[in-house]
Amino acid sequence: MNDLTLIRKGVFRKKVRATLLILSILVAFLIFGVLGAVNAAFGAGVDTAAANRLVTVNKINFTLSMPYAYYGRVRQVDGVENVTHANWFGGYYQEPRNFVQSFAVEPATYLAAYPELQFGEGQAEAFINTRDCLAVGADLLTQFEDWELGRRIPVRSNIWRQQDGSDTWEFEICAVFDGEQDNVPANYAFFHYEYYNEALQFGSDEIGWMVINTTDPSVNDQVIADIDEMFVNSRAESETTTEGAFNQAFVEQFGNIGMILTLVISAAFATILMIVGTTMFLAISERTREIAVLKTLGFSQPRIFTHVLSESVLLSLIGGLIGLGLAALFVSVAAAALSAFLPGLSMSTETILTAVAIMIGFGLITGLVPAINAMRVQIVDGLSKS
């Protein structure tokens, strides 16, 4: 009989108890895994932000527009490699509830600004050269059964009107794009600014926001200062930030999601910590006699200490890994269903590694006091205890 067998026997000494503990640990790590993935998906906009990408919006609020002329002026700024601009379209397909997140953009520079968007063979060129092309993200395309490459579709706007009073723009889906990686969103569509602007009944020659690629992240601060300086005291002052900061601020508008999730996860762990901690304490004190026997047989104090600690870590790992596995399964099913709403839902390596680290830490914490107690068992006391 080696040490490992002893540890295994120790864990499953009372099968029902061990099973119950494993199940409650499992639940905690299931919650951790799922919420960790949700949190990462909310933060995806920050993770996928390019270090050299800036966003310029109207200083009052990003929903207010700026004059088209700003685009030309920002192109002249030192350290700017590429500028593009976009307008919010407020699109929907057939019915208002079929929301189509869509933007009117400057085609060639938009693609240059977002190199992580990948198109099928020849489709990027087709988008740039086709005046009424709608480039559709792969996750948006699957939302509507009758959308496919080459199809002409009408998209209505809840904001804009054409000069003839119509709120419908006709597009040909001539390009489909997807992100290079899972966490790059592909749940939106974009089309030519010119095609949209020339038909507008009101609000023409205005742009919603600009996206700027700088030559290097190190010049960001200078570029930001130069751009915003240019428009001070004009009718539309600008506010330029890095893409990461902009996305962070946007997510935070919904509330401090990170804090809420952390609170829930902490509550789940605190619950399980108390349950497992007290049970381990009880389990070891029940075994005082047994430990005394081991000592009599010549087991050293450190060896007994290690045994007890290994038991609690083993328990935690069994429950935790099963829970994490179930969470991964759940997340992969949910990811497909939520791709349009919460793109990039997946369990990252970081979440998995954090979880494993917590499992080990958790096992050590719950096992520490019982292990010290076990180590201190006096043979005489232990054996005389009936």
Partner 1 sequence: MLQQIAAVTMINLRSIPQRWGMSLATILSIALVVAVLLGFLSMANGFRATISGTGSDDVAVMLRSGSQAELNSGFGRDEVRLMETAPGIARDSADNAILSAELYVIADGRKRSGGLDANLPLRGVGSAAPQLRQGFTLVEGRMFAEGSNELVVGEGVIREFSGFDYGSTIRLGANEWTVVGVFSTGGTVFDSEIWADIGVIQNLYQRGGSFQSMRAQLTSPEAIEALRAFVEAEPRLDLEVSTEKDYFADTAGGTSDLIMFLGWPLAIAMAIGALFGAWNAMYASVDSRITEIATLRTLGFSGFPAFVGTMVEALLLALIGGIVGALATYLVFNGWSASTLAGASFTQIVFSFAVTPTAVMSGIILALAVGFFGGFIPAIRAARVPLLAVHG
Backbone angles phi, psi at 17, to 5 degrees: -60, -45
Q: Is 252 in the site for partner 1 (CB under 8 A)?
A: yes
Give the nearest distance from C-beta 167 to partner 1 in angstroms.
6
Q: Is 221 in the site for partner 1 (CB under 8 A)?
A: no
Q: Is 282 in the site for partner 1 (CB under 8 A)?
A: yes
Answer whether 52's CB lies under 8 Å from 220's CB: yes
Question: Which stretches of the chain are DSSP H helices?
Answer: 3-11, 15-42, 44-47, 69-75, 107-113, 123-129, 138-141, 193-197, 220-230, 243-252, 257-286, 288-296, 301-337, 349-375, 379-384
Q: Is 287 in the site for partner 1 (CB under 8 A)?
A: no
Q: Is 329 in the site for partner 1 (CB under 8 A)?
A: no
Q: Is 262 in the site for partner 1 (CB under 8 A)?
A: no
How distant, in Å, are the alpha carbons of 101, 158, 167, 189, 322 from that of 97?
Answer: 12, 11, 16, 16, 39
Give the nearest distance from C-beta 100 to partner 1 in angstroms.
13
Give the nearest distance from C-beta 371 to partner 1 in angstroms.
17
Which two three-digit tokens encode residue 385? 């205890």
Q: Is 229 in the site for partner 1 (CB under 8 A)?
A: no
Q: Which of 195, 148, 201, 187 is nearest to 170 (CA)?
A: 195
For partner 1, give the closer residue by CB, 138 or 275. Answer: 275
Q: Is 164 in the site for partner 1 (CB under 8 A)?
A: no
Region 230-249 residues binding partner 1, contact defined as CB under 8 A: 232-237, 248-249
Strands 209-214 and 80-88: antiparallel
| DSSP tag of 29 | H
> Which residues 6+ apart lie within 8 Å of 320 measured at CB?
25, 26, 28, 29, 355, 356, 358, 359, 362
Q: Is 254 in the site for partner 1 (CB under 8 A)?
A: yes
Please select the residue that binds partner 1; options are 60, 69, 225, 357, rule is CB under 8 A. 60
Give the nearest distance from C-beta 253 to partner 1 in angstroms.
4
Which two three-digit tokens encode residue 177? 């794009």
How distant, in Å, are the alpha carbons of 291, 299, 377, 379 from that of 385?
Answer: 12, 19, 11, 10
Please select the residue that binds partner 1; options are 7, 10, 11, 31, rule is CB under 8 A. 31
Region 102-141 residues binding partner 1, contact defined as CB under 8 A: none
For the chain, how big is the Rg over CA atoms in Å?
30
Q: Is 15 in the site for partner 1 (CB under 8 A)?
A: no
Please select the residue that binds partner 1; options are 2, 202, 302, 380, rule is CB under 8 A. 202
Please select the residue that binds partner 1; options are 13, 24, 39, 149, rule is CB under 8 A. 24
Q: Is 333 in the site for partner 1 (CB under 8 A)?
A: no
Please select the residue that binds partner 1; options are 94, 158, 218, 222, rule is CB under 8 A. 158
What gap in Å lies between CA 88 and CA 159, rounded to an integer? 9
Q: Is 289 in the site for partner 1 (CB under 8 A)?
A: no
Binding site for partner 1 (CB under 8 A): 16-17, 20-21, 23-24, 26-28, 30-31, 35, 58-61, 63-64, 90, 96, 156, 158-159, 167, 202, 232-237, 248-249, 252-256, 263-264, 267-268, 270-272, 274-275, 277-279, 281-282
